Amino acid sequence: MTEKTPAPRRKAAAAPKAPVKAAPKTVAKAPSGTPDFSVVVPVFDEGGAAPALAREIAGAFKGANFEMVFVNDASRDNTLALLTALKAELPMLRVLSHRKNSGQSRSIRTGILAARAPIVVTLDGDGQNDPADAPRLAQALKAAPEELAMIGGERVKRQDSAAKKIASRFGNGVRSWLLKDGAADTGCGLKAFRREAFLRLPYFDHIHRYLPALMLREGYQIAFQPVNHRHRETGVSKYTNFGRLKASASDLLGVMWLQSRARNPGGVDEV
């Protein structure tokens, strides 16, 4: 029998000779308890929309055991100050903040890494997704079998400019034809998924448009539900049609490569 090795006594830490830069804190301290749902919202220069959106989400999930995780993507406006002040009013609100702007996908990932619930719902931070739809998607996923890892929103009546709607229709058409992901609207920011499933997917910038294809690649099932879409009332869109097209060309090739390299055991049995 081996004896328990006593824990080594810690020497009182000597004061460092030279100032040492502390390791960057990436994730804020989580409050105690496990919520059923984590609502993750990426925000970049959304000071005009974020506080009202947080209140709307709180109203939509009233009575549920949930948390909100807003991820400030190094906004240059007052987004962070407004959200920080709002924490006194909304105790279920957590605010994480990137030191450098890293994009929508990275912001979502930061929120999901910090999320404490097994089910995550994402929403755009500009208020275009309607929080009233979010609990329905979250509850549907909670009630679904484990293999169903994601329920994506599909915007029924897009409230965007004609140019954006045409570009989006074209982009969605090409993507679903090439990737066979069965998704009509991957650009919809409102999605519910299992946190664990999301974290199994490879990360790259703009991955948020390829979640259906990547979930299927991992062997999960996915579903879609129609959702409301609203006008952007404040702030400006962070994407241009040209910028989106440029990123999509290489991302599509990348996801096709990932699909071609997928092998799936169809389930794992422990004997």
Ligand X SMILES: Nc1nc2c(ncn2[C@@H]2O[C@H](COP(=O)(O)OP(=O)(O)O)[C@@H](O)[C@H]2O)c(=O)[nH]1
Please count the residues of this chain forming the interface with Mg ion, following the rule CB under 5 A: 3
Nearer to Mg ion, 40 or 117 (CB): 40
> Are 150 and 192 in contact, with CB atoms under 8 Å apart?
yes
d(CA 243, CA 167): 11
Minimal distance, residue 249 CB to Mg ion, in Å:
22
Nearer to ligand X, 127 or 216 (CB): 127
Q: Which residue in 194, 215, 219, 206 sits closest to 245, CA to CA?
A: 206
For Mg ion, the binding residues in 237-266 under the rule CB under 5 A are none
What would the two tokens of residue 221 be?
């099932």
In this structure, the strands spanning 119-122 and 191-194 are: antiparallel
Per rule CB under 5 A, is residue 45 in the interface with Mg ion? no
Query: Three-state DSSP class for 271?
Result: coil
Q: For ligand X, what does the binding mask look like between residues 177 and 216, x meaning CB under 6 A?
A: ------------x---------------------------
For Mg ion, the binding residues in 101-130 under the rule CB under 5 A are 124, 126, 128
Please count the residues of this chain forming the interface with ligand X, following the rule CB under 6 A: 17
Minimal distance, residue 204 CB to ligand X, in Å:
14
**Cβ-based neighbour number of residue 44 at 10 Å:** 22
For ligand X, the binding residues in 40-69 under the rule CB under 6 A are 42-44, 46
d(CA 255, CA 214): 8
> Are 36 and 117 in contact, with CB atoms under 8 Å apart?
yes
Q: For Mg ion, what does the binding mask look like between residues 128 and 157, x meaning CB under 5 A?
A: x-----------------------------
> Are 71 and 100 in contact, with CB atoms under 8 Å apart?
no
Owner of token pair 């920080």: 84
Nearer to Mg ion, 67 or 124 (CB): 124
| Residues in touch with Mg ion (CB under 5 A) | 124, 126, 128
| Residues in touch with ligand X (CB under 6 A) | 42-44, 46, 73, 101, 103-104, 107, 124-126, 128, 189, 237-239
